[in-house]
Every structure is written in C-alpha cells, then in structure tokens.
C-alpha cells in the first residue's frame, strides 16, 4: 500500500529552527510537495522536490532523499505566523498526489 508518515504535532520557539520529517512508501515517485495550511483555511503550496538534495526558498528549505524515501521541511527564524499544519504529499506513478495527515506546528513566544 501507499503510505506517508509525518509527526502529528511539534512545538518550537519563536526565532528558532524546526525540522519536520516525512517518510513515504508509494508506487512510483514523480515528486514530493510541501503545503502549509493555517487552521480553517486552504492548503497553499510551499515547495517541490523531484531530485535529491536541498531546495531553499527564503526561510523555508526542503530536502529529499529518494533512496531513503525521506524528506524534511526546515523552517528558520520561526515567526508566530508559521503556526500551521504542514502537509507532505507525494506524486505517485499515476501522477496522483498521496497526502500525509499533516504536522501541526505550534510556535511559542
């Protein structure tokens, strides 16, 4: 079966760095996405990885290792507005997205 695992909840301090991990087992792989979802709102696109390595976009970075079925999202200089759920999703061999349940990130002052 297809499976995406990520921690249910994480807590971090304003100004700090946090790493949210995602492991996946899917039938085929055509890319991994990270989305941000604030409570009561729609998900919004954060990053896309299809090749191994690190993609940096401002305070957010995303890493992929295809051989390990592993990705992480790194958030630096945390701000209160980063409190949200972070969704990991993998595009399978049929180009359909398989979604993790999301990691709720709580930022404390």
Partner 1 sequence: NAGVTQTPKFQVLKTGQSMTLQCAQDMNHEYMSWYRQDPGMGLRLIHYSVGAGITDQGEVPNGYNVSRSTTEDFPLRLLSAAPSQTSVYFCASSYSNSGVNTGELFFGEGSRLTVL
Binding residues for partner 1, rule: CB under 8 A, are: 4, 8, 30-31, 33, 35, 41-45, 48, 87, 89, 91, 95-102
- Interatomic CA distance for residues 19 and 30, integer angstroms: 23
Min CB(44)–partner 1 separation in Å: 7
Please, are residues 71 and 84 in contact by the beta-carbon 8 Å criterion? no
Shortest CB 102 distance to partner 1, Å: 7
Nearer to partner 1, 13 or 27 (CB): 27
How many Cβ atoms from other residues are within 10 Å of residue 84's Cβ? 20
CB 86 within 8 A of CB 103: yes
Nearer to partner 1, 78 or 84 (CB): 84
């Amino acid at each position: 079966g297809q499976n995406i695992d990520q921690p249910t909840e994480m807590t971090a301090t304003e100004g700090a760095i946090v790493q949210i991990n995602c492991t996946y087992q899917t039938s085929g792989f055509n890319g991994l996405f990270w989305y941000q979802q604030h409570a009561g709102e729609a998900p919004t696109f954060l990053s896309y990885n299809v090749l191994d390595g690190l993609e940096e976009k401002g305070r957010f970075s995303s890493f992929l290792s295809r051989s390990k079925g592993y990705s992480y999202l790194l958030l630096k200089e945390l701000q209160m507005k980063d409190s949200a759920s972070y969704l990991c999703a993998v595009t399978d061999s049929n180009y359909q997205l398989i979604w993790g349940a999301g990691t709720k990130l709580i930022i404390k002052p």
